[in-house]
Amino acid sequence: MSEAKAKAYKASETIILNEPILSVAAGGKQIDRVTLRRPKAKLLEEVESIEGDYATMARLIAKTSDPKLTPSEIGELDGNDFKRMSTMIR
């Protein structure tokens, strides 16, 4: 990989939420940003099969998010925030 490409690659990305959510798993703490790491190769099959599949994308977000988001927390995300997370993972 060239030096320019290596600098452009990001192993993770922090997304600031348009609409913060409350995390039951974190004792009611408000979450206003989520960091997603790029999926490992073993998850690429799931990434390839996503095309419009909410459940698969929610599972991938849960596996790659920090703080870890639960399925119910992912369901409470603003639609645009979910879309931005989905785009980052793809």
0.75 cut: is pTM over it? no
pLDDT exceeds 90 at position 5:
no
15-44 per-residue burial string, b: 16 or more CB within 10 A, e: under 16 = bebeeebebeeeeeeebeebebeeeeeeee
pLDDT exceeds 90 at position 1:
no
DSSP string, 74-90: HHTS-HHHHHHHHHHH-
How far is it, in rounded angstroms, from Cα 30 to Cα 14?
A: 16
How far is it, in rounded angstroms, from Cα 12 to Cα 75?
A: 22
Whose tokens are 């206003």? That residue is: 32
pLDDT per position as a tens digit, 51-81: 567 888 888 899 899 999 998 898 888 888 9
Closest CA to 15 of 90, 65, 72: 65
pLDDT exceeds 90 at position 50:
no
